[in-house]
Amino acid sequence: MSGPVSRGFAAAFNTLVTHAPSDTDLLLLHADARVRGPLTRTRELLRRPWVAAVSPMVCDDTAPGRPPWDIAARRQTLIRALVAAAGYSDSLRGMPISPRYARQPPESQSIEGCLGATCLAISRTAWNAIGGFDEEFFRYGEAADWQNRARAAGWRILLADEVGADRGNRVTGADAHVTGSTHEGAVAAAQHDRNRDLARANAALLLEHQHSVHHADVYLAATKLVERLQRSKRAAGSSAAAGHRTGLPAIVIVTNRLVYGGAERQKALLATELDRRGYPVTIVCVQRFGPLINEIPHSVRVVRQPWWAPIVDIPAGPAVLISGDTNTETGFATLWRAAAKSRRWLVAAHIPPEDNRPIYSRPLTAAMRRADGFIVLAQRHWEMLTAHHRLGGRRFVAPNGVAAAGDPAPPIRGVGQPPHLVMLSRIVEHKNPHLLVEALAGLTEMRWRLSIFGDGPDRERLQARTPAELRDRVQWRGWSAGPGPALADADLLCVPSRSEAFPLVILEAMAWAVPVAASAVCAVPEMLDFGRAGFVVEPVSVSGWREQLAKILADPAALPSVGRRGFERMQQHYTVAAMADAYLDAIDAVL
């Protein structure tokens, strides 16, 4: 689907299906495949009871001599996945450890594994019963995962006894790679690396869904070792690494997942900016990928690797790893740094500190003390952490930053419309959406409406606490695709959390010139210039929020000027460029 950001194949196909008649069967056809005819036998089999998907046999022009039934694969196991990754599927065909069938599966036999998506017919009845593709799969694996779910629900997967498609036709358009210049060749190489990394990560995700996360982690570690042991692959990897040498240190950024959280978005922005400045950047996800991968350029390498196997392909020379302050990120960083004397490690803390108790275990604190530096989001952040932890080492301050598209236009508010209050957050209890609703419940005589954007494990329970008399004024809007849809119509962003470090959503509102009211926790007072660029709410209680909101709603005409001051403060202190400058100061200091 067209747009500024790729949504991923699974999301695009799911959207397309919603626009098709509800009784229409579906056909997945690869971009380089050509259908030979009407797929008569395939369609006949698809109409049988409890048949979820059917594929014809496919002739692959890129692999002469390969049997056309290789579109079908046996049930995936860890050993079979490793055999396929090592390139031995054909030579070991017929053996129990190969994913290849020794002979053509009969139509009467349900495929024990899955069919390739080159030319895959899907029953709409099965689709409606099972659901769509899992959108966590990005570009690879979604069809195989869907077939596994269908088979688990009692449906059959069949291979039709007809050769219905050819694969190997030249791809044209946006997916074609033109390498007529050095730049175009580099772009094609970066896209090739991204495709390979996605395929590897999604193969691991399939194993995780079918077996366990431990199977996935072993697969990831083993395939990386195999890649280094195989001479041809090792030579290709060395060539790729050499091509990225710039004279600048390699940057490795470790995260658990690339989900829509503040810390994860900050890491994605930092990686993109450092890449723009010429640094070779690799993001390592130690758990899974996530939707933010759509927003990261192909020139930034994104890989999944278990924390206990810190094997990352980077150019030779100095390298700096930036981790968060979780157990898994710290474990990865500790092992990675110990592997070479030229490596350095910076901890970038993001877990919200507490006033009255430690947030890190003693082993985690001891591990992070081995880092070459500790990056905090604000001076107050450091003070709260060191009140309960002996961190030591060199300290650096690097506030988060956001990209501003330009001078935002003020929202146009219709005559007589009430001020629109917005909350944008992951819906968990410590974010306090229920506190905000309770505070507004005491201001029913004033004009306002509230939209709560976001999703999370506590949403259903907290939403149920909304008083019946407020349900026409309080809307729980669910997940938002970034800050834009939530902030475009906002008069005031409310951040009532009782625990935050440096809420990125405040900066995103500032970039839209939306005024902010936020609880006085950790770095928030400094972000809002201690009340000059926003409303600092203290104490963090129902009465504290009710009192502040009453003052704001009594003079809504003042809100645009507050939003303007917030925008100016963001431009001065909290841009992506300023964030990257602060990180580079820390990187230069530890090298």
Which of helix, strand or coil describes residue 255?
strand
Q: Which fold has domain 9-172?
A: Spore Coat Polysaccharide Biosynthesis Protein SpsA; Chain A (3.90.550)
pLDDT at 244: 54
**Amino acid in position 46:** L
Indicate the pairing of strand 250-255 with strand 319-323. Answer: parallel
> Which three-class secondary structure state does DSSP give residue 81?
helix
By three-state DSSP, how is residue 32 classified?
A: coil
* CATH top-level class of 420-573: alpha beta
| Dihedral sign, Cα of residue 270, residue 276, residue 281, residue 282 | positive
The answer to whether residues 173 and 36 touch, using CB atoms and an 8 Å cutoff, is no
pLDDT tens-digit map of 542-568:
999 999 999 999 999 999 999 999 999
pLDDT digits (tens, 9 = 90+) for 158-175: 999 999 999 986 544 444
Q: What's the pLDDT tens digit per position in 32-65?
A: 999 999 999 999 999 999 999 999 999 998 888 8
- Label residue 362 exposed, middle or buried (CB < 10 Å: 0-12, 13-18, 19+): exposed
pLDDT at residue 171 in the model: 47
Work out the burial of residue 152: count CB atoms within 10 Å of its CB; fewer than 13 is exposed, 13-18 middle, 19 or more buried: exposed
CA–CA distance from 541 to each of 307, 436, 520 (Å)?
39, 9, 11
Please, which residues have CB within 8 angstroms of residue 437's CB and are 6 or more apart in sequence? 450, 465, 466, 467, 470, 474
336-345, 406-415, 420-429: the lowest-pLDDT one = 406-415
Beta carbons of 283 and 219 less than 8 angstroms apart: no
State the pairing for strand pair 492-495/516-519. parallel
- The predicted pLDDT at position 175 comes to 43
Which strands, in side-by-side order, build the sheet including 535-537?
A: 474-478, 449-453, 420-424, 492-495, 516-519, 535-537
- The CA distance from 9 to 136, in Å, is 10
Alpha carbon distance 127, 150 (integer Å): 9
Task: Label residue 245 by pLDDT band (50, 70, 90).
Answer: low
What number of residues does the chain have?
Answer: 591
pLDDT digits (tens, 9 = 90+) for 564-591: 999 999 999 999 999 999 999 999 999 9
pLDDT above 90 for 9: no
pLDDT one-digit tens code per residue, 445-471: 999 999 999 999 999 999 999 999 999
d(CA 270, CA 258): 13
- CA 511, 517, 521, 526: dihedral to nearest 10 degrees? 50
Distance CA 229, CA 554 (A): 70
Using CA atoms in the order 546, 549, 553, 556, what is the torsion angle rounded to 10 degrees? Answer: 180
Q: Which two tokens stand for residue 507?
A: 């900066």
Q: Among residues 523, 525, 509, 524, which one has the least CA distance to residue 570?
A: 509
**Per-residue pLDDT, 406:** 78
* Predicted confidence (pLDDT) per residue in 512-525, tens digit: 999 999 999 999 99
Whole-number pLDDT of residue 272 = 97
Q: Which of 550, 512, 516, 552 is nearest to 533 (CA)?
A: 516
How far lies 361's CA from each of 147, 244, 256, in Å?
A: 42, 38, 18
Q: Identify residue 73 by its one-letter amino acid code.
A: A
Q: What does pTM read for this prediction?
A: 0.90
What superfamily would CATH give domain 182-397?
NAD(P)-binding Rossmann-like Domain (3.40.50.720)
| Rounded-to-integer distance, Cα 111 and Cα 54, Å | 10
Nearest to 206 by CA among 77, 90, 86: 77
168-177 long-range Cβ contacts below 8 angstroms, 24+ apart = 168/32, 168/60, 168/61, 168/62, 169/32, 169/33, 169/34, 169/61, 170/32, 171/31, 171/32, 175/31
Nearest CA to 168 out of 28, 29, 37, 32 is that of: 32
Radius of gyration in angstroms for the set of CA atoms belonging to the chain, rounded to a whole number: 27
User: What average pLDDT score do residues 475-481 get?
Assistant: 90
Q: What is the mean pLDDT of residues 175-182?
A: 40
Q: What is the mean pLDDT of the chain?
A: 92
Q: What is the mean pLDDT of residues 141-163?
A: 97
Question: Could you give the residue range(s) of every CATH 3.40.50.720 domain in the chain?
Answer: 182-397
Single-letter residue type at 555: D
Mean pLDDT of 73-98: 96
Strand partners, 255: 285
pLDDT cut 90: percent of the chain above it: 83
* Average pLDDT of span 78-84: 97
pLDDT for 37 equals 95
Q: Where in the chain is the domain with CATH 3.40.50.2000?
A: 420-573
Interatomic CA distance for residues 366 and 53, integer angstroms: 53
| 3 state DSSP class of 432 | coil
Q: Where in the chain is the domain with CATH 3.90.550.10?
A: 9-172
Crossing angle of helices 182-210/78-86, nearest 10°? Answer: 160
pLDDT recorded at residue 169: 64
Q: Which two tokens mark 448?
A: 């306002």
